[in-house]
Chain A
């Protein structure tokens, strides 16, 4: 009787260990990576990581707006059919090099600068940069002065011109305040990736990589080391968190 019980426990122990070992060896990248990145809600963002994005414009398909739709869906951004005043956190831009004629398509959004002009000019401190490099607007103390929109070299910010309905509880917004790409901070804090990156991968373009720029082993760091990446308006020396290849 006693022997049987012991045997059962031992068998169960061996079985669970084997399953765990298999899990670790089969999917280390997925399983361990997510646990390492997930930030408990009561813990502040840390400067040990710097979240960034790398966009390969050669893979970015002209006419594809999967990233834009995903962003709008994720963050509850609705169009009122007034493009001049509708908020746009991410937009697709098609460019032609005036010298070579080379045509490029790329998504443009908040570049999450290390030295963000929007944070410098904000009178109340509503525009702020987290320790992990994500630039946000505190909707509680934004007075809607729009000085950050004057200062942003990327036109990345939108002023909420109209009443908002059906907000997402994880992405609070407010009429009369300024907003921009949050790098899907609610997902990132849960160990996830931004909605635009996910959508780009789902559309099988794979033009966007999200990750920790400070971790030399991350996919984004390895790709940047191997093939490089440019900052838009690098002359302003803002050290952007979003980098581009192929421009």
Chain B
């Protein structure tokens, strides 16, 4: 596929997203699958996924600058570009799904500092500035000596950013699926996994399409790191559910999410099949299976599965957490209500919502494609003997 046709392909998705936004804003949100019970729908699944992945995409740069790993140094600029691109895509979705996207300027000028959401807006803006400066220092020979400090600042900032994203859910005391401090570290470890999966896909695709050499030394290091991250996410998910299972008041939610009770079969299926099987266990097997150590196709498939699993995880957290009926009247059974009290909400995403989400992803990829073309984010070669001077072919 040529470069321009790639841009045109991605651009079509962005246009579809803009069209969807116009349709949703013009008619009002009732044309979406969202309602007064599920207030955050499919656009948020994509948006939060991309924002979390953005922070994780910075991993490779962090390892090179903060932990001073030489082999990662040539990989670092792409890492910063991808981080910025994913955040742009995620925020695009988030803003276009607002009830009043035209009031973005209000969101940027009026802050309630008790709101973790307001803090997130500051963290997003700061991320653009800090990671932008970091990328500049790495690409500008005269500033390169400062890049380590910028990298350190970016590392701290991205941890704060994902803490903020996780806390958007962690700080919601009213809903049994949220209200847990563990949301913040869990989101950080999720960012490591999703971000690196996207990074690896972009790295392999861009080297393949530009006919630059990419050796197994670099790819295998990243592959093993990805395996550790996927296992770590799984660990956090297990602890999250064990904590809920311990507290009697949360048994209803766990039965809903894990067993599909009270109308939760859709969410339990997405959890077990999407998040656990496709998103965690199969990728782990593909990463660690001895026979496929150097197989790029297997690794790429594993990365795609991790992304699908990540979206499934976001779906169960965001939609599942809202669909489960909020316990407004403990000890009481709701016999009648006009506002769906005590009832599991059925949500199905509408086409405009899905198109808006895909448009955000396409936007991220456009930014990456333009960045790679215009600036030297990609080293000419990452062949084994270039990446690792001590490398010896067996």
Hey, which chain A residues are within 8 Å of B29, CB to CB?
85, 159, 161, 176
A203, CB-defined interface residue at 8 Å: no
Residues of B within 8 A of A233 (CB): 174, 328, 330
B101-126 contacts to A, CB under 8 A, are: 101, 103-104, 106-107, 110-112, 114-118, 120-121
For chain A, give the interface size range.
35 or more
A43: Cβ under 8 A from any B Cβ:
no
Asked if A229 is an interface residue, CB under 8 A from chain B, the answer is no
Q: Which residue of B lies closest to A234 (CB)?
A: B330
Alpha-carbon distance A19/B342, docked complex (angstroms): 57
A3 CB within 8 Å of chain B? no
Is chain A's binding surface mostly helix, strand, loop or mixed? loop
B36 CB–A CB distance under 8 Å: yes
**B residues in contact with A120, CB < 8 Å:** 114-115
Evaluate contact between A162 and B30: CB separation under 8 angstroms.
yes
Instruction: Report yes or no: A142 in contact with B28, Cβ–Cβ below 8 A.
Output: no
Name the B residues within 8 Å of A150 (CB-CB): 39-40, 172, 175, 322
Asked whether any CB of chain B lies closer than 8 Å to the CB of A93, the reply is: yes
Q: Quick check: which of A46-54, A95-103, A183-191, A210-218 contacts chain B, the rest being far away? A: A95-103
| B100 contacts A153, C-beta separation under 8 Å | no
Q: Which residues of B contact A23 (CB under 8 A)?
A: none
Contact with B along A77-101 (1 / 0, CB 8 A): 0001011111110011111111100
Q: Could you say which of B114, B332, B341 has the most chain A C-beta atoms within 10 Å of its C-beta?
A: B332
CA distance A181 to B111 in the complex (A): 24
> What's the least CB distance linking A205 to chain B, in Å?
17
Judge whether A122 and B98 touch: CB under 8 Å. no
Whether the pair B338, A88 counts as a contact (CB closer than 8 A) is yes
Q: Does A20 contact B (CB under 8 A)?
A: no
Cβ-neighbour of B98 out of A88, A144, A158 (below 8 A)? A144
Q: Assess the A88–B339 pair: CB atoms within 8 A.
A: yes
B334 touches A95 (CB 8 A): yes
Q: Mark B161-200, 1 if CB is under 8 A from A, else 0.
A: 0000000100111110000000000000000000000000
How far apart sit A183 and B206, CA to CA, in the bound complex (Å)? Answer: 59
* A 135-153 binary contact with B (CB < 8 Å = 1; else 0): 0000001111111011111
Q: Which residue of B lies closest to A140 (CB)?
A: B106
Q: Find chain A residues with CB under 8 A from B173 CB.
A: 117, 151, 153, 236
Q: Which residues of B (64-83) have their CB < 8 Å from a CB of A?
A: none
Decide if B333 touches A98 in the complex (CB within 8 Å).
yes
A91 CA to B101 CA, complexed, in Å: 30
| Cβ–Cβ contact B106 & A103, under 8 A | no
A10 interfacial by beta-carbon distance below 8 Å: no
**Any chain B CB within 8 A of the CB of A123?**
yes
- Tell me the chain B residues, 311-342 only, with Cβ under 8 Å from chain A: 322, 326, 328-341
* B331 and A97 contact, CB distance less than 8 A: yes
When A97-B332, A151-B172 are in contact, do A176 and B30 touch as well, CB less than 8 Å? no
A174 to B100, CA, bound (A): 10
| Least CB distance, B255 to chain A, in whole angstroms | 16
- Tell whether B376 is near chain A: CB-to-CB under 8 Å: no
Q: How far is the CA of A135 from the CA of B28 in the complex (A)?
A: 25
- Report A-chain residues with C-beta under 8 Å of the C-beta of B171: 121
Q: Which residues of B contact A7 (CB under 8 A)?
A: none
Q: Does A39 contact B (CB under 8 A)?
A: no
Closest chain A residue, CB of each to CB of B31? A161
Using Cβ atoms and an 8 Å threshold, which residues of chain B touch A68? 338
Closest to B329 in A: A95
Contact residues in A for B35 (Cβ distance below 8 Å)? 84-85, 161
A165 within 8 Å of B (CB atoms): no
Interface contact B99-A144, CB-CB below 8 Å: yes
Do B28 and A124 have beta carbons less than 8 Å apart? no
A224 lies within 8 A of chain B by Cβ: no
Q: Identify the closest chain B residue to A144 (Cβ).
A: B99
A99 CB to closest chain B CB (Å) equals 7
Contacts A84-B37, A149-B36 given; indicate if A124 touches B110 (C-beta within 8 A).
Answer: yes
Please tell me if the beta carbons of A98 and B118 are within 8 angstroms of each other in the complex: no
Out of B28, B116, B329, B335, name the residue touching A160 (CB < 8 Å): B28
Judging by beta carbons under 8 Å apart, are B100 and A143 in contact? Answer: yes
The 0/1 profile, CB within 8 Å of A marked 1, for residues 36-49 of chain B is 11011000000000
Contact B174 A152 (CB under 8 A): yes
The answer, yes or no, to whether A175 is at the interface (CB within 8 Å) is yes
Interface contact B100-A144, CB-CB below 8 Å: yes
Distance (whole angstroms) from the CB of A145 to the closest CB of chain B: 6
Choose one: A92, A161, A174; the contact of B336 (CB below 8 Å).
Answer: A92
- The listed residue (A80, A92, A176, A178) touching B338 by CB distance below 8 A is A92
A232 close to chain B: CB less than 8 A: yes
The answer for the CA separation of A236 and B328 in the assembled complex, in Å, is 11
Contacts A121-B171, A175-B28 given; does A232 touch B110 at CB 8 Å = no
Measured between C-beta atoms, what is the minimum distance from A155 to chain B in Å? 6
B125 → chain A closest CB, angstroms: 13
B30–A82 contact, CB under 8 A? Answer: yes
Q: Are B40 and A124 in contact, with the CB atoms below 8 A?
A: no
Minimum CB–CB distance from B199 to chain A (whole Å) comes to 29
The answer to whether B28 touches A162 (Cβ under 8 A) is yes
**What A residues does B322 contact at CB under 8 A?**
150
Tell me how far the C-beta of B173 lies from the nearest C-beta in chain A, rounded to whole angstroms.
6
Distance in Å: Cβ of B150 to nearest Cβ of chain A = 28
Q: Within the complex, what minimum Cβ distance (angstroms) separates A151 from chain B?
A: 6
* Complex contacts, B384 vs chain A, CB 8 Å: none
Complex A-B: 16 CB contacts under 8 Å: A93-B329, A93-B337, A93-B339, A94-B336, A117-B174, A120-B115, A121-B117, A141-B110, A144-B100, A145-B107, A147-B115, A161-B29, A161-B36, A175-B28, A176-B99, A177-B99
Of all A-B residue pairs in the complex, the 8 with the closest CB atoms, nearest first, are A144-B99, A176-B99, A153-B174, A84-B35, A161-B30, A94-B336, A146-B39, A123-B117
Residues of A within 8 A of B (CB): 68, 80, 82-88, 91-99, 103-104, 108, 117, 119-125, 141-147, 149-155, 157-163, 174-178, 232-233, 235-236, 247
